[in-house]
Amino acid sequence: MLRLPLLVLAALATWSVVADPQPYMKRANPNELPLLVETYGCPVDTAAVRAMAEDVMTRAGIKPIDPTKLELPQAVPWLFVNVNCLDRGAAFRTDVDFIARQGAELVRFALNGYGGLGMAEDKDGAYILDGIKERVEAAVADFVKANLEPTVTPPETSRRSNRTR
């Protein structure tokens, strides 16, 4: 009976994935994006989630940067993938957000991230990883859209005067 409320919550959370790209996703160098990954109590570990997210980003032409391995602060935004599992993966919550570091705290740029809930039969790590991947792909697609340069050409100006002579 617990599954029905969780499925309803998952459907509502998935609806937020349809959000339009926001200006906070813009970066001076849109070909790279810091990626921070955390997992808690899951059958898939942080390394597997990070490798999957890096693959999604690389296929989109974005170089993933590990902000924890650099001494210099990274420009905003960062992509944050956070996965929490209950009972080693029977139920899981995924939060994929664009964030920044403010002092020691992480700050989310939007309240409607690319998060959701899910339930895995037999604590299936591959199923959990697929659920995370869908959310990462949606966030990366919106990041790419937000950073596309418009291909608007300025109107041609005539060198002739419109006045009659």
35 dihedral zone (left: phi>0; alpha: psi -120 to 50; beta)? beta
pLDDT tens digits, 69-116: 877 677 888 999 999 998 777 889 999 999 887 777 878 887 778 988
pTM attached to this predicted model = 0.74
Residue 97 φ/ψ, nearest 5 degrees: -140, 160
Query: How many Cβ atoms are within 10 Å of 6's Cβ, its own excluded?
Result: 14
Residue 133 — φ and ψ, nearest 5°?
Answer: -60, -40
User: Which pLDDT tens digit goes with each residue over 10-52?
Assistant: 444 444 444 455 778 888 888 999 999 999 998 899 999 999 9
Residues 111-130, mean pLDDT to the nearest whole number: 85
- Tokens 């037999």 correspond to 122
Question: In this predicted model, which residue has the larger pLDDT, 41 or 123?
Answer: 41
Greater confidence (96 vs 2) lies with 96
Rounded Cα distance, 102 and 87, in Å? 32
